[in-house]
Structure 1
Amino acid sequence: MSYQVLARKWRPKSFREMVGQEHVLQALINALDHDRLHHAYLFTGTRGVGKTTIARILAKCLNCEQGVSSEPCGECGSCLEIAEGRSVDLLEVDAASRTKVEDTRELLENVQYAPTRSRYKVYLIDEVHMLSTSSFNALLKTLEEPPPHVKFLLATTDPQKLPATVLSRCLQFNLKNMPPEQIVGHLGNVLEKEMVSFEEPALWLLGRAASGSMRDALSLTDQAIAFGSGKLVEADVRSMLGSVDLSFVYQLLEGVAAGDPAELLAIVARMAEHAPDFEGSTDELISLVHRVAVAQVVPEAIDNSWGDAERVASLARSITAEDAQLFYQIALNGKRDMGLAPDPRSGFEMLLLRMLAFRPAAVIDESLGPADLQPAPANSASSSAAVEVGTPVKKSPDSVGEGAPSQPQAAASHHTERKRELASQDSPAAPVRSQPEPAPQAAAAPAPEKAPLAAASEKQAIGGVTPENWCELLPQLGLLGMVQNIASNMQLLTVTGDTLEFVLDADNASLFNDGHRDKIRLALQNYFDCELSVSISVATPPGETPAMRQARARNERQQRAVAEIENDPRLQALLANFDGELDITSIAPLD
């Protein structure tokens, strides 16, 4: 007996054997079991999702000699004839090869005659959107009011091309693409019954390459079995599909996180030795960045289908949430532009270099001089934190080459004193290339060494912040975006030595992570010019947060504005004379 391909050998013979499409099967099963049958059904969906298979099973259900039901016997003459494709009462028509109106008229000439030996005469028209306009017009009347012994089953991959008059005469069922999980599960069952050894990662490669089509997945499996001499090995399947080894993708993202362009180009060179599909590699990179972003928000939701959950979690810790979103967007745009590149490899390399080039490192405060700035290390998680905080990392006074300034007594006086020092320098602070000369008095005095983390200095540095004035201090930290929103919903509980303990409102903590805490700590350290420890717990604040205070103040201003308007004598006179009504929602305070 000749070999039969898997896609045909394992085609479902009943609704019970179908994989997926539960939303369609449930409707058909209920209609068959309760004898609520329509005269025309339209099945739509991409290739290989089960349109023709469901239509054939439905024809078998309609004509089974045991009676109309959702479970045909599969053993009677009618069931066997339909399964073997030789039933005279199931007329399968390929509309792509019979597009002329004459073909449609010839097909419909025998509609009026009763079926030869079955209960119904079933017309299965595949790729019905290929019919011409004249063919559709010839079909309309019969499609709307066919004889009671006729059923129409239409299938198409492009329902937009069908006239609205045809759509309105059919029950339409939209079949969905198969998710990789369903495809992998079905492939595993088929290979076990075929007694073919396989590696599960190889099935996941086939499931993703099938792009939602079960028929494509089975066809690729046939090809992979032949390629691997009767077994499915991940390396062989990757080679067959031209897929890149996932280890390269991990190394690429780790290289981007480390800010190492030389390592990135070296990895791409090693990838090129295996003649990979760089567009497919871009898809794998996008998928990995997506999994990293999910792991940062919901760590327990990491997909471990590849057995790499630990590595994904490690990448999630080494990349900030903002950088993950930036990398994802750059990769998407890079995939779109890859067709414009001279060759796929150069387009892929530029995509990676763009991730490094556009990754934020620092924001320069123009009020400070070049001696006050130091570059943040590219591989540190705090590099992007400096961007969102909006405050540059400042050197200690001894590295600037000036006399040690007097330690500020309060938080507000610290920046004022710093600006006075800069104003006394001879050269302006804005240029980056020229080194400003120190003030004469500072040059005469030797630069004393600053003891690291001296207890007395720390006390003076953070002595300006208390739980009572946290609301006034917050706007001076220069926080932006999500970090500023989180900080505004925190209440400062205690200040002990160099440790600040906060409580974050639980109602505003859904997106909070350790990266936000590090950025808040960095902003406080830059403001007070000393090392600090920040503890943030999630609970209901016992007191008022800055956000709560701002909302209360806004509400009070609104109430005062409404009261002033309502008590205005001129407005009261207008309302009384013209029988008017005041729209309170239109009142807004001017301050």
Structure 2
Amino acid sequence: MTYLVLARKWRPRSFDTLVGQDHVVRALTHALDTQRLHHAWLFTGTRGVGKTTLSRILAKSLNCETGITSKPCGVCQACTEIDAGRFVDYLELDAASNRGVEEMTQLLEQAVYAPGAGRFKVYMIDEVHMLTGHAFNAMLKTLEEPPPHVKFILATTDPQKIPVTVLSRCLQFNLKQMPPDAIVGHLQAVLGEEGIGFELPALRLIGQAAAGSMRDALSLTDQAIAYSAGNLTDEAVRGMLGTIDQRHLVRLLDALSGNDAKGVLAVADELAVRGLSYAGALADLAVLLSRVAIEQRVRGAVPPEDPLAADIARLAQSLHPDAVQLFYSVAVHSRGELTLAPDEYAGFVMACLRMLALNGDAGPQTALEAPAAPARQTADETAAAAAQPARPAVAAQAPVAQPVSPPSDAAPRPAESEPSGAAVASEPAPPAASAAPGRMAARPEAAAPATPQPAAPQPAAPQPAAPDIPPWEDAPRAAAPAPASEPPAAAAPSAPATPAMVASAPDGDDGPPAWVDEEIPDEAEGGYVPDSGFFSDPDDDFETLAAAPAPSSSAPAARRREPAAAPRRRGARSALADMTPAAWPELAARLPVTGLAAELARQSEWAGLQGDTIVLRVAVKTLAESESRVRLQTVLCEHFGQSVRLDVDVGATGEATAHAVAQAERAARQQAAEEAVAADPFVQALVADFGGRVVPGSVRHVDPPAA
């Protein structure tokens, strides 16, 4: 006996057994019950959604021996012959093979004759969009006013190719794609009748692979029955379809969220071993990410019976919404780039590594990232430097003041251990070429000349090594040394050396260099007290202090200077308190932010300061509600050197925004450019001699080059 495939064996025989097309069934049953019958119907939809099935049920309803009814009996001659495909008054035509005007003319010539066995002659033309233009024109008149005994049923998968003159003569019904739940329910009923064992996840996979087509779902079920030997398990169906196990994708997302590159490569290798499609993997990953994003916005959107419900809920909690959107975008775009990759494996791996890189992979330090110099010198380095012999000073070079290293646990070296001039003669002096540009050296007349001593060599005293220079320092500032007749001043035992503490320039200096942001006042204002080596202000939060050289008659009182990267907390508070609406545009224009955060800073104006809360006003509501406010708050905290909060109000803004200031400057430059062109002698000569004119809008100012 010939085996009948499930798609034909379980084709619906009545409107009651039709699945997934309730809107069409409702309209047709009401029309049949009320005898309001049209002469032409057009069924549109993708493959396998029931166009041919609906036409056969409708033909049985029109020709059933019990009368025109929405519930044909299914046992009379007309019903059985229509189901078997041999009813003389029901004719199914394939427009792809009968698309010419000759075939259409022959069909219409036969339509004028009365039916031989049924009540109506029903012509079902499948894929009607394949007819030629002449064939459509030939059938227009008959389609508009057919004989009373003729009914037309047209079916197509591409209604856009049908002329509107044909569409206007038909009742059009758009058949929907089958939802996966409807497919799974129908497959359960079919397999239950067939007595074949199955697992529900396996049917879900078939429903997803069918892509809305019930015929495809039944065909895949036939294939799965043969593949699994009559037992439709989840593993067997996955192996047959070559689909991705969702657990692999969950592991992949876990690895991506944890910046685990090894885990990502392990998942890619497993997919390669199983021979699965990487394009399908990216598509399934995008679907999973969309479900995670929906779960983040709508809690409980995933049904509890879904096998991935727990994993999706967990990923929705662990993944940031921005990361989900980023991963989704990379997965969708990388799927189209797989054809450009050397192979699918490389394309898939690079897509995953792109996700890690864009999400902020915390990898090892690169060559471009120089490690920060240590702020202090270790005891071993100090001892090694002390063991080196002292070099004689060069008389033509001014000695550079060196910060004093903190003494060790041993007793300080007495000053009587060497002559008073020996310390000056053996003081190491770096060459002038080694001084960093922009540093202020001591004046030659302010330093006592140092000449080599012809006396017998004496044991050199250990000299403190120069400390490592931090990233913000190029070289220690030069200062006038103490006179040669005076012994070197001993450092305060409680003041460790740091490169941030250097002596100031002597009188007559042009002021602090560009790298110094703030000058700390003397001890009267809470500054550094040279005698004790401590700050008099207990609120100062510096971790290290440095010893300054003792004051002398030839050098002014030492002042402490700070690097720009570490402003004093009290000065930062003062800068925040002194901020005004007029100063905000300049600050907003140079803040290190980009994107929406930069737009928020540029288009906002300073509304005030409430404690530690900065209040800005912006006219665009979307900027006030965007996540860029957090980024701008972080940058403001870094700029002012203290923790601040940022509130953004929505309201009208004036000219106190960086955007308005830039627009005003641009308008001023434009006006100046137009005035310069108008005042140009050559232009004036052209206007006067030749009747020329400057075309409005043709003058453009040139923006100044970026600093």
Is the pair's TM-score, using the shorter chain for normalization, greater than 0.5? yes
- Cα pair 1:259 1:356 within 8 Å, conserved: yes
Letter matched to residue 25 of structure 1: V
Relative distance call for 1:138 and 1:295 in structure 2 (3 A) is same
1:346, distance to aligned residue in structure 2 (A)? 2.1
- Cα pair 2:569 2:641 within 8 Å, conserved: no
- Whether 2:492 is the aligned partner of 1:443: answer no
Letter matched to residue 223 of structure 2: Q
Find the counterpart in structure 2 of residue 231 from structure 1.
231
- Could you tell me the TM-score, scaled by structure 1's length? 0.68
2-side partners of 1:265 and 1:64: how far apart? 64
5+ residue gaps, structure 2: 365-370, 378-402, 404-435, 440-469, 478-497, 503-540, 545-567, 616-620, 658-707
- Cα pair 1:120 1:149 within 8 Å, conserved: yes
Letter matched to residue 244 of structure 1: I
SS at match of 2:140: helix
Find the counterpart in structure 1 of residue 162 from structure 2.
162
Find the counterpart in structure 2 of residue 111 from structure 1.
111
Alignment of 1:44-443 (within 5 A): 44-302=44-302, 306-357=306-357, 359=358, 361=360, 377=362, 435-437=471-473, 440=476, 443=499
1:262, distance to aligned residue in structure 2 (A)? 3.4
Find the counterpart in structure 1 of residue 649 from structure 2.
546
Q: How many residues align?
A: 480
Please tell me whether Structure 1 or Structure 2 has the larger radius of gyration of its CA atoms.
2
1-side partners of 2:500 and 2:355: how far apart? 47
Relative distance call for 1:21 and 1:483 in structure 2 (3 A) is farther
- Cα pair 1:61 1:69 within 8 Å, conserved: yes
1-side partners of 2:253 and 2:353: how far apart? 12
Letter matched to residue 195 of structure 1: G
The CA RMSD measured in Å over matched residues stands at 4.6
Relative distance call for 1:288 and 1:201 in structure 2 (3 A) is same
Letter matched to residue 128 of structure 1: V
CA deviation profile, 1:385-442 (whole Å, cap 9, x unmatched): xxxxxxxxxx9999799x9xxxxxxxxxxxxxxxxxxxxx9799xxxxx944277485
2-side partners of 1:161 and 1:58: how far apart? 25
Find the counterpart in structure 2 of residue 14 from structure 1.
14
1:52, distance to aligned residue in structure 2 (A)? 0.5
SS at match of 1:178: coil
Q: Which moved more, 1:44-53 or 1:307-316?
A: 307-316
1:118, distance to aligned residue in structure 2 (A)? 1.7
2-side partners of 1:479 and 1:103: how far apart? 71
Letter matched to residue 312 of structure 1: I
- Cα pair 1:98 1:104 within 8 Å, conserved: yes
SS at match of 2:269: helix
1:304, distance to aligned residue in structure 2 (A)? 5.2
- Cα pair 2:576 2:640 within 8 Å, conserved: no
- Cα pair 2:375 2:499 within 8 Å, conserved: no
1:117, distance to aligned residue in structure 2 (A)? 2.4
2-side partners of 1:333 and 1:399: how far apart? 47
- Cα pair 2:198 2:233 within 8 Å, conserved: yes
SS at match of 2:317: helix
CA deviation profile, 1:134-155 (whole Å, cap 9, x unmatched): 3333322222211001100011
2-side partners of 1:179 and 1:36: how far apart? 31
Find the counterpart in structure 1 of residue 530 from structure 2.
none
Relative distance call for 1:460 and 1:294 in structure 2 (3 A) is farther
Letter matched to residue 351 of structure 2: L
Relative distance call for 1:148 and 1:522 in structure 2 (3 A) is same
Relative distance call for 1:65 and 1:335 in structure 2 (3 A) is same
2-side partners of 1:216 and 1:315: how far apart? 33
SS at match of 1:72: coil
2-side partners of 1:522 and 1:485: how far apart? 15
- Cα pair 1:426 1:437 within 8 Å, conserved: no
- Could you tell me the TM-score, scaled by structure 2's length? 0.58
- Cα pair 1:92 1:124 within 8 Å, conserved: yes
Identity %: 47
Letter matched to residue 650 of structure 2: A
CA deviation profile, 1:239-279 (whole Å, cap 9, x unmatched): 11111222221222222222333332232112100000111
- Cα pair 1:255 1:263 within 8 Å, conserved: yes
2-side partners of 1:247 and 1:400: how far apart? 52
Relative distance call for 1:275 and 1:102 in structure 2 (3 A) is same
SS at match of 1:177: coil
Relative distance call for 1:227 and 1:127 in structure 2 (3 A) is same
5+ residue gaps, structure 1: 362-375, 380-394, 404-424, 429-433, 451-456, 503-507, 537-543, 555-591
Letter matched to residue 11 of structure 1: R
1-side partners of 2:4 and 2:173: how far apart? 30
SS at match of 1:42: strand
SS at match of 1:443: coil
- Cα pair 1:398 1:449 within 8 Å, conserved: no
More helix by share: 1
1:481, distance to aligned residue in structure 2 (A)? 6.9
